[in-house]
Amino acid sequence: MQLMVVGGSDAGISAGLRARELDPTVEVTVLVADRFPNFSICGLPYHVSGDVPDWHQLAHRSLEDLEATGMRLLLDHTAHRIDPAVRQITVTGPRGHKQALGYDRLVVGTGAVPARPPIPGLDLPGVHLLHSMADVFAVQQAIKAGQPRRAVIVGAGTSAWRWPRRSPSRELEVTVVEQAPAAMPTVDPELGEVIGRELAGHGVRLATGVTVRAIHPDNGGLRVVGDPWFDEPADLVLVVVGVRPDSALAAAAGAELGARGAIAVDRQMRTNVPGVWAAGDCVHTHHRLLAEPAYLPLGTTAHKQGRVAGENAVGGEAIFAGSLGTQVVKVFELAVARTGLRDAEAAAAGYDPVTVGSVEFDHKAYYPGARQLHLRITGDRTTGRLLGAQLVGHHHAQVAKRIDIPATALFHDMTVQGLSDLDLSYTPPFGSPWDAVQMAAQTWTRAVRGGRPTQAATNQARP
């Protein structure tokens, strides 16, 4: 059987690997648009920031590793057209050579492209969108050639891009301008303030509630202008305002589109086109707390969906369990994490949410090095069901894996109160007899229900 995969990033490679793992007789061909298969998009900012000096390291697997699994990778091959009636795909190779390749099963993993906000000046020299290795090389070239001293980063969101950990060069003054009222629009403003202080402490200026209107050339450099009252000179502008699904190839082949123009798939990652599956940042996503699919491009989801698509493309019956939007980012010394729904998202989905914040130590305060964790728990007032959690704290306070506790609880439809029943690990240097997440849950219950239990012997909202 010929399995064709369009896209050599997380979803596509996961699909190919899973197919080969289950059926080593399947011939897998992966079309990679550039020369960088299986590169960690989430890792790009850490290369720009200098944390990861060698870009070669950003590959999850090397080309040799990938080929050793028996997959065939066609680098610098762009797919133009899928003809599902005859199961052919038209591609252009590195020297412009066009050819039609046949397939039995096809997995589309075309990913996302950076969103281009309607701002005049995006094409000026010195203005960069960031998504691919090519973008990264362009920024590095600009820094090397131009020795910029002032950078403006448009957009503080996290869905497609991460904060540079430190300035790309030591002398670079960085200003971040964000349309939302607080840093990190993915968490509540109460936590945004904690993040804003961290940025300020590292010399990064943050302008929130500002809509950028234009980027102008100015005196050999650039000028970023916005409402209200934003006017900053810059030698370098990075625009990182999120991504949109790259679904054109599939759509032209007859694939239905869903949320935000992403390819519509079922939970087996099947499109409506016979013989075509799709996965990753190009598809909409089943969300375990929402009735309708959402667009939630995340690397973790791309890996899971790719694995499901690969399994099913070779005859399996795997089902994507669904996303909860669990994510974490590093902001200097802070880790900023969330899972599930925030208050407004939950209300829009028909829940009756209440969000309660609390501050707890990550481990017993008497043991040296205890750090404050800022937590916010969202639960349903009527049913007591856990709907979401947000967590900000020092990156040594186990924030990333601590958010995985409510993430796993959400997966199982637990109540807020049920979190206290979990048997979690404890020793004074690492935790508390009730973990910070459990203390935050108890604070929620006290605030919403006066501490009273809802139902005896019940830790799940749905039986």
How far the first Cα of the chain sits from its last, in Å, is: 43
Region 257-296 residues binding a second copy, contact defined as CB under 8 A: 288
Is residue 342 a contact residue for a second copy (CB under 8 A)? no
Residue 229 Cβ, how far from a second copy at the closest point, in Å?
33
In angstroms, the CA 9 to CA 303 distance is 9
DSSP string, 296-331: ---HHHHHHHHHHHHHHHTT-------B---EEEEE
Pick from 408, 447, 449, 454: which binds a second copy (CB under 8 A)?
Answer: 408
- The β-bridge partners of 244 are 113
Region 296-315 residues binding a second copy, contact defined as CB under 8 A: 298-304, 307, 311
x/- letters, 361..400, toward a second copy (CB under 8 A)? ---xxxxx--------------------------xx-xxx
Token output for 247:
């679904």
Token output for 287:
């969300």
Is residue 68 a contact residue for a second copy (CB under 8 A)? no
Task: Point out which span in 82-90, 132-140, 184-192, 320-328 binds a second copy (CB under 8 A).
Answer: 320-328
Region 39-58 residues binding a second copy, contact defined as CB under 8 A: 40, 42-43, 46, 51-52, 57-58
Do 63 and 54 form a contact (C-beta atoms < 8 A)?
no
Helix boundaries (H) for 412-454: 436-449
Pick from 337, 341, 346, 373: which binds a second copy (CB under 8 A)?
Answer: 337
- SS3 of residue 405 by DSSP: helix
In angstroms, the CA 410 to CA 266 distance is 21
Choice between 98 and 396, CB closer to a second copy:
396
Pick from 378, 431, 440, 461: which binds a second copy (CB under 8 A)?
Answer: 431
Region 146-205 residues binding a second copy, contact defined as CB under 8 A: 162
Pick from 232, 345, 380, 435: which binds a second copy (CB under 8 A)?
Answer: 435
Sheet holding 236-239, edge to edge: 127-129, 236-239, 150-154, 173-178, 205-208
Choice between 135 and 413, CB closer to a second copy:
413
Pick from 2, 69, 92, 459: which binds a second copy (CB under 8 A)?
Answer: 459
Token output for 181:
């009222």
Pick from 322, 359, 371, 447: which binds a second copy (CB under 8 A)?
Answer: 322
Pick from 110, 175, 208, 327: which binds a second copy (CB under 8 A)?
Answer: 327
Do 192 and 206 form a contact (C-beta atoms < 8 A)?
no
Question: How far is Cα of residue 314 from the mean position of the Cα atoms in its chain?
Answer: 28
- SS3 of residue 137 by DSSP: helix
Site size for a second copy, by CB under 8 A? Answer: 82
Pick from 118, 145, 452, 463: which binds a second copy (CB under 8 A)?
Answer: 452
